[in-house]
Amino acid sequence: MSAEQAAAPDTGAAEAAVQEGRLRRDLGFWALTAIGFSNIVGSGWLFAAMYAARAAGPASLLTWAGAGVLCGLVALVMIELGASRPEGGGTVRWPLYASGRLVGTVVGWSVLLSVGGTAAEISAIMQYADHYLPDLYHGHLLTPTGLGVAVGLSVLLTALNWFAVRTFARLNNLVSIFKIAVPVVTVIALFASGWHSGRLTDHGGFAPYGYAACLSALAGGGIVYSVNGFQAPLDFSGETRNPRRTIPASVLTGIGLALLMYLALQAAFLFTVPEGLLGDGWKGVNLESPFGQLALILNLHWLSSLLYADAVLSPGGSAYVGVALNARHTYALAKNRTLPRALMTVDRRSGIPHRALALNLAVIVVFLLPFCEWQRIVSIMGDMYLLIYAASAVAVAVFRADPGTPMAGWVPGLRWIAPLSFVVAGEFVYWSGWHDLRLALPLVLAGLLIFLGMRRAAQDGSLAVELRDGAWLLCYLAGLTLLSWLGTFKGSGRLPAPYDSLAVALFSLAVFSWAVRSGVRHRAAARGAR
């Protein structure tokens, strides 16, 4: 019996191995890089430059660079996991292996909720399509007609994912080429139209709202959401020809290309926005379709037409990858028994988990209903997914400390990178602000009810032991909620800056130490029970 079977004895390892074997291992470096890049560069490039500028002014350039560094730290942790333990939907499986069923269930539930991120991409498509079809969007919300079109698009993306993974990769490669070309043309055309040299110092200076605004822009400005998506190749590790060699290079290449593109787009926006729109400073800039309308103002009608066409294809490409990722997550959640085992079934001919695809289509439609505004979806869904980053940092530290768990050793310095990435994940959650966390974290904690329901149905093992092994996660979520309410990011302000972010960092380090000790104890007990 493997360590994973011992650590998760109820997952039906034999049946799971059969389904895992049906996945087609057809993906190479360029296919995985295109998947990661396409998942990163979606609606974010169309909107986040304006939102970031409104939040932080020219200092938003620092925010993008900081987001790249911080996400790179988290990526290194996940790269080591993906290279060491390749598996379909691995980001959902690793927390279960390392910390037990309670953590696996709560993290899995948050991943299922993060399916709404695909709804964000579809909502972005509708917002730009409203330029041609005015009945789709009204007052920052989808109209009934727009909702119907959005649901139809969700069905189409699901249908395109129904076939073999090789077909999916080829279509995504074509989309990725277009997604690179259009932003590059946009940057060149905007700068060629003329630019204002004093933008880094005019209108309040480089940081008109203070450098603390750079932190809130990470989440509220959509930057974290826009850079997020680098983990996509990891969830296809079970469908990769040589994961130990291919995954690290593809993840880092995808992050690097996307970050360079986002920095160029942010600079183009900052330097070419007309003076007439800056009468009230950067906060006063308000364009429903930022780059498209900016092109029209600058008399670049051909560019505007190109952007409005790409506004469908670019987030559509991310949504296309998102639907595929969601299916791998749901497939992995079924292996975890967080969802019914029937959803684990992989089609013999195509190697695709068709039932998982169908369930995620239903979830996407549900998320289109209550959360129709792009930025609202971005903030809430980003909070949901960030929990995977924290759980992965714990998992890699637990596996390193477990003598029965071989690691690839691809990433040096994991001893300090793992706790630092855990802190980064906690700060990302905290910086998103109390108004979003008060909605997101209680939703995640609802995963505890799912765990208790599953536990009652299983009737095996000790509930006290399982609660002890996973108690760190519940305390972590509760503590972040409390600190968010006390802090300055749309909270009560009782804990002033920068001491609020420092408190989150210290609290995260304490929880990380607790979580690693619990994980090592969990795996040792599982091996002893064999």
Q: Does the structure show a pLDDT above 90 at 317? A: no
Least confident of 77-81, 136-140, 435-439: 136-140
Q: Is the pLDDT of residue 18 over 70?
A: no
Q: Is the pLDDT of residue 419 over 70?
A: yes
Strands 137-138 and 141-142: antiparallel
Banded pLDDT at 380 (limits 50, 70, 90): low
Is 150:122 a contact under the CB 8 Å cutoff?
A: yes
pLDDT for 140 equals 66
pLDDT reported for residue 276: 83
pLDDT in tens, 275-302: 888 888 888 888 877 888 888 888 898 9
**pTM of the full predicted structure?**
0.80
Alpha-carbon 378 to chain mean position: 10
pLDDT higher than threshold 90 for residue 386: no
Q: Longest Cα pair distance anywhere in the chain, in angstroms?
A: 72
Please state, rounded to an integer, the average pLDDT across all residues of the chain. 81
Cβ(413)–Cβ(146) below 8 Å: no
Of 166 and 492, the one with more pLDDT: 492
Integer angstrom CA distances of residue 167 from 37, 62, 494:
18, 39, 54
Can you give the residue ranges of every domain in the chain?
25-376
Does residue 371 register a pLDDT over 60? no
**pLDDT score of 219:** 61
- Interval 459-497: pLDDT, tens: 556 788 888 999 999 999 999 999 999 998 888 999 998
Strand ranges inside 134-223, DSSP E: 137-138, 141-142
Residue 2's pLDDT is 42
Token pair 């972010």 in the structure block, residue:
501
Range of weakest confidence among 236-245, 252-261, 461-470: 236-245
Residue-wise pLDDT for 54-71, tens only, equals 888 899 899 888 888 888
Residue 408 has what DSSP assignment? -
- Residue 5: pLDDT band (50, 70, 90) is very low
User: Which whole number is the average pLDDT over 20-48?
Assistant: 75
- Please report the pLDDT score of residue 458 as a whole number: 55
Which residues, including other chains, have CB under 8 Å from residue 67's CB and lie 6 or more apart? 218, 223, 224, 227, 259
User: Residue 495's pLDDT is what?
Assistant: 93
If you average pLDDT over residues 348-370, what whole number do you get? 80
Give the integer Cα–Cα distance in Å for 453 and 456: 5
- pLDDT at position 69 is 86
Q: What is the DSSP secondary-structure string of 101-135?
A: HHHHHHHHHHHHHTTHHHHHHHHHHHHHHTTT-TT
CATH number of 25-376: 1.20.1740.10
Full DSSP string of 228-264: TTTTHHHHTGGGBSSHHHHHHHHHHHHHHHHHHHHHH
Percent of the chain with pLDDT over 70: 88
Name the least confident of 17-26, 162-171, 437-446, 485-494: 17-26
User: Among 21-35, 417-431, 439-453, 472-486, which is the least confidently predicted range?
Assistant: 21-35
Mean pLDDT is highest, among 40-49, 194-203, 430-439, 467-476, for: 467-476
Task: Categorize the per-residue pLDDT at 1 as very low, low, confident or very high, splitting at 50, 70 and 90.
Answer: very low
Confidence grade of residue 10 (pLDDT, cut at 50, 70, 90): very low
- Of 405, 382, 421, give the one whose Cα is nearest residue 75: 421
Q: Residues, the chain, total? A: 530
Q: Please say whether the beta carbons of 87 and 243 come within 8 A.
A: no
